[in-house]
């Protein structure tokens, strides 16, 4: 298979300077404000974004440790298959968050509900459209018992490369 090359299009800023203590999902960061600074060559791509209440940020987990096929996720103490979790130690360390879009000012998006480490490289932005993206699920696997804890659980250092 050929290598794939992805270049950041900007950077995400948040109040979180360290991984430990961060919210583990946007639901735990509802009131947290942040900024998404898009690099000037891509700024024209932000046209018409101001009509959306929410956006999807796709980013690179730049401070995570190496790939682990089994992990102890933040919401459990049992080893789980990586792909049955949202843990960052992935073969391609790509994350995504749905955040509220507060405003668009030139190449800066002001957002709320950010659960991302300050300085995280931004790979892409997509509008969140409930009619396309929201689905009712029938099953949530092992998370059925613990998903509600994402409102208050915080990250620790288990996935860092530090």
**Better-predicted residue by pLDDT, 20 or 43:** 43
Average pLDDT along the chain: 86
Predicted pLDDT at 143: 58
80 within a domain of the structure (yes/no): yes
Average pLDDT over residues 95-106: 96
Tell me the pLDDT band of 50, cut-offs 50, 70 and 90. Answer: very high
- Integer-rounded Cα Rg, in Å, for the chain is 16
Pairing of strands 10-13, 120-127: antiparallel
- Domain extent, residue 62, equals 10-151
CA distance 52 to 80: 36
Here the CATH number for the domain that contains residue 83 is 2.40.30.70
Separation in Å, CA 76 to CA 25, 121, 130, 143, 149: 14, 28, 29, 9, 10
Question: 88 versus 1: which is more confidently predicted?
Answer: 88
Q: Per-residue pLDDT tens for 21-41?
A: 888 777 777 899 999 999 999
Q: What is the pTM of this model?
A: 0.82
Which pLDDT value is given to residue 63? Answer: 85
**Position 139 confidence tier, pLDDT thresholds 50, 70, 90:** low
Task: Return the pLDDT at 103.
Answer: 97
Which tokens sit at 44?
């024209």
35, part of any domain: yes
φ, ψ for residue 95 (rounded to 5)?
-120, 165
Is 120 a member of any domain? yes
**pLDDT for the residue 26:** 72
DSSP conformation class of 147: G
Number of domains the chain is built from: 1
User: What span, in angstroms and rounded, lies between the C-alpha atoms of 56 and 96?
Assistant: 7
Query: 117 versus 75: which is more confidently predicted?
Result: 117
pLDDT for res 56: 96
Supply the DSSP string of 32-101, one letter for each residue: -EEEEEE-GGGGGGGTTGGG-SEEEEEEE-TTB----SEE--TT-SS-EEGGGS--S--SS-EEEEEEEE
User: Is residue 5, in this structure, part of any structural domain at all?
Assistant: no
């Amino acid at each position: 298979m050929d290598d794939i090359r992805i270049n950041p299009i900007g950077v995400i800023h948040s109040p979180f300077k360290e991984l430990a203590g961060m919210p583990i999902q946007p639901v735990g960061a509802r009131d947290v404000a942040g900024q998404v600074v898009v690099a000037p060559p891509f700024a024209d791509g932000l046209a018409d974004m101001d009509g959306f209440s929410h956006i999807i940020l796709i980013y690179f987990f730049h401070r995570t440790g190496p790939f682990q096929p089994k992990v102890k996720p933040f919401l459990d103490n049992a080893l789980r298959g990586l792909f049955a979790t949202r843990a960052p130690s992935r073969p391609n360390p790509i994350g995504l968050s749905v955040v509220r879009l507060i405003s668009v000012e030139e190449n800066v998006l002001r957002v709320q509900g950010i659960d991302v480490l300050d300085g995280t490289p931004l790979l892409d932005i997509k509008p969140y459209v409930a009619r396309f993206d929201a689905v009712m699920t029938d099953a949530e696997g092992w998370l059925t018992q613990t998903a509600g804890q994402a409102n208050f659980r915080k990250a620790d250092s288990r996935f860092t490369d530090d």
